[in-house]
Amino acid sequence: MSADFLKDIFKQLDKDGSGFISADELQEALSNGSWSAFNPETIRLMIGMFDRDKRGHVSYENFGALWNYVTDWQKCFRNYDLDNSNSIDRQELQTALTSFGYKLSAELLDTLIKKFDRIGAGHVLFDDFIQCCIVLQTLTTAFKAHDKDMKGVITIDYEQFLDMVFSLTI
Amino acid sequence: MSYGYNPYAQPGGAPPPGAFPPQQQQQQSPAYQWFAMVDRDRSGKINAEELQAALINGRGEKFSSHACKLMISMFDNDASGSIDVYEFEKLYNYINQWLQVFKTYDQDSSGHIEEGELTQAFTQMGFRFTPEFINFLVKKSDPNTHKEVSVDQFIVLCVQIQRFTEAFRQRDTQQNGTITIGFEDFLSVAIGCSY
């Protein structure tokens, strides 16, 4: 992606000309393929990843990485949306997660669909799919840090547990 | 909610006179009166938006939509996204328990408390956390200045901590403060109990 092209996108997104992309500005720019607004929680998670000074916005310096990240997710989403329905159904989600290396039970898969399907349609849209994957990634990283012998079982105390589960909430 | 003084119960104007006949005993309870004011479209149900429109902290800031959705979801048994007056009364009483604690430490009724006060509030509620963990919670709750926790964020924290603590207790079968948990169970709890 050329620097000029990126600069153009940045200028278009930065509606108030502050030199930063805020959560609202990013939300306005992204589409989930439906008429509903882009998942604010996904926006928050993504801004958080590329927000170096922890101010809730992204500077031009880090914008390229953020934009690449979004387009990578778009490619990934298209890959697993086999029927081109603009959404990932249960079967497609299972295929996607299996290819990411997860072996999840049917119950957990149901929990995921229920949790991340914001419109209650039984499948997940692009923005919800990203949220689902980031959440899984975050939790997996937290779990692995304790799973020294890689047995898939860990022993943790109360605060360690809270630390881990709170890594994504709030 | 009945945070006592100015901060919270400012539901944008009183109901029209006579709209809520006072003869029924139950409608005189604070929860019923509050419900009547919050239910702007008189649908007999309130949703997260109506709740949000009614809640303001001491600095004139709205409660986050996250907090309002969480509060509704806790008592929204049919998952309709709204609650009726009976469900609301439960929510009202539940939230008030946390607010009473918060109020004790919010000396200037600003709707915000600082780290030291949060520690005391948790202690009063029976939680003992290390300073590191409290600090972690404050940073998460206040990403900009890392200094204080707003009342709506406090409610979110309390609800989440209570849920996760319950999940932990169920698994701490020897009651020694540690659990041994598999990957899938961990994911289920973390995702299922969070909001």
User: Is B172 inside a domain boundary?
Assistant: yes
State the pLDDT at residue B2. Answer: 40
Contacting residues for A90 by C-beta, under 8 A, at least 6 apart: A109, A110, A113, A122, A123
More reliable by pLDDT, B96 or A126: A126
Task: Please report the pLDDT score of residue B8 as a whole number.
Answer: 43
Q: Write the CATH number for B173.
A: 1.10.238.10
Please state the domain extents for chain A: 3-166
Do the Cβ atoms of B136 and A105 come within 8 Å?
Answer: no
By residue count, chain B amounts to 195
Q: Which domain holds residue B120?
A: 30-194
Query: Token match 């202690």: residue?
Result: B123
ipTM: 0.88
Pick from B183, B184, B189, B193 the residue to mutate for testing the A interface (most A CBs within 10 Å). B183
Asked, for residue B179, whether it belongs to a domain, the answer is yes
User: pLDDT band for position A170 (50/70/90)?
Assistant: very low
- Averaged pLDDT, B107-126: 90
Give a yes or no: residue B9 inside a domain. no
Percent of chain A at pLDDT exceeding 90:
81
CATH architecture for segment(s) A3-166: Orthogonal Bundle (1.10)
Quick one: pLDDT at residue A130?
A: 95
pLDDT exceeds cutoff 60 at A99: yes
Contacts of B189 in chain A (CB under 8 A): 165
Subunit contact A139:B160, Cβ cutoff 8 A? no
Residue B44's CB is within 10 A of a number of other CB atoms, namely 10
Contact B33, B27 (CB under 8 A): yes
Split into its structural domains, chain B has a count of 1
- Asked, for residue B13, whether it belongs to a domain, the answer is no
d(CA A135, CA B194): 11
Question: In this complex, is the C-beta atom of B183 within 8 Å of any C-beta atom belonging to chain A?
Answer: yes
Q: What is the phi/psi pair of residue B126, to 5°? A: 95, 10
Instruction: Assess B64–A contact: CB distance below 8 Å, yes or no.
Output: no
Model pTM score: 0.82
What does the block give as tokens for A36? Answer: 């509903």
* pLDDT tens, position by position, B17-26: 344 444 445 5
**B120 located within any domain:** yes
